[in-house]
Amino acid sequence: MSVTRESFGFMPDGTEIYKYILENGKGTQAHVLTLGATLQSFITSDKNGEMRDVLLGFDTVEDYLSKSNYQGATVGRYANRIGGASFEINGREYKLTPNEKNVTSLHSAGDFSYNAWKAIVPDADMVEMSYFSPDGSNGFPGNVDVKVVFRLTEDNKLSIKYRGISDKDTYLNFTNHSYFNLNGYSSGDVLSHYLKIDSPFITPVDELSIPQGDPMSVEGTPFDFRKFTKIGDRIEDDHVQLKMTGGYDHNYCLSDSQVPLREVAQSYSEDSVIKMKVLTTLTGKQFYAGNFLKGAEGKNGKPMEKRSGFCLETQFFPDTPHRPDFPSCLFKAGEEYSSETVFAFSCEQE
């Protein structure tokens, strides 16, 4: 195992951004940027022994700041959406930055994702990113210290461990927003990818993608991925929830509270025969099929067209501040947020 560092460019204020390259004995690499604690590339072997980069992303700081739809970024303080861009804690209302349609707070307006983080290398298989989010950032209460540790194993598992602590009661909900294409980032859409999600329910949404009503059973709907199904098989079905979001962009309910690390999803490509398993300790997972990618030029000038990547964002449910029936992610002052997600890659003919 090895970790190397190279310059990736500079922020507008002159802060230098670095890329850390984690590599195991098989030649598998994970590239992590100090800009947004972003997973820029994951390079692994396909069925022919050729190396493929299975992540959408960009080659420059400027592109990440001007073109990004959170490709590979660490997201927080609150991943996903908060309705009305406000919430109450202890009887006090907090108004957030309404960065989506001037109504909702989406991904906390990029607090974690578009700023520079600090990095250390604690061991030869990992890099630790740290970030300080000040009290009042985009309206959220509390000074928050965050650490995210990326670790690559010899058996091609990428572990992402999150830690966070605030000096005030606040909501915390972190994720990684990688867009995957198991055929390689420049290989067209992902509609032929097979996907399996171990969940019987989603949280249905309104026209602003805010959860509405009780969790909806996936039984008999295009949202049932409990058996391997191609992403594209039913994505254009005439279902109100698909019409509402332009395709898959929904939270799958995994558990009622945080639990030990367990497998929650798998995907594979018949072309590359690369398989990815997702494990997490968290309660939910957003499956997003890249419906709103619009052809921005990514790595090596390759366009990221509609549905050329998919996301499996582990998380607490969206809009939990307004849903006491959802698993809570309100953390008291001094109480530590902690979670882990693992993306495990393999390439075996089955």
107, 177, 193, 250: the catalytic one is 177
Q: Please report the pLDDT score of residue 74 as a whole number.
A: 98
Looking at residue 5, what is its pLDDT? 98
Domain assignment of residue 339, given as a range: 2-347
User: pLDDT of 238-257, one tens digit each?
Assistant: 999 999 999 999 999 999 99
**How much is the pLDDT for 348?**
75
Tell me which of 107, 128, 193, 313 is the catalytic residue: 313
Q: Which residue has the tokens 């951004």?
A: 17
Tens digit of each residue's pLDDT (9 = 90 or more) over 65-89: 999 999 999 999 999 999 999 999 9
Task: Single out the residue of 182, 191, 215, 187 nearest to residue 201, CA to CA.
Answer: 215
Q: Are strands 86-89 and 201-203 parallel, antiparallel or unpaired?
A: unpaired
Query: pLDDT tens across 201-240, in order?
Result: 999 999 999 999 999 999 999 999 999 999 999 999 999 9
Which two structure tokens, joined as six digits, stand for 165? 């602590």
pLDDT range class, residue 350, cuts 50, 70, 90: very low
Q: Is the model's pLDDT at 6 over the cut of 90?
A: yes
For 192, phi then psi, to 5°, come to -90, -5
pLDDT, residue 329, reads 98
Question: Span 321-343, mean pLDDT?
Answer: 98
Whether residue 250 lies in the annotated active site: no
d(CA 84, CA 75): 19
Q: Whole-prediction pTM value?
A: 0.97
CATH number for 142: 2.70.98.10
Q: Determine whether 239 is an active site residue.
A: no
Q: What is the pLDDT of residue 349?
A: 54
Counting the structural domains of the chain, the total is 1
Condensed to tens digits (0 to 9), the pLDDT of residues 172-186 reads: 999 999 999 999 999
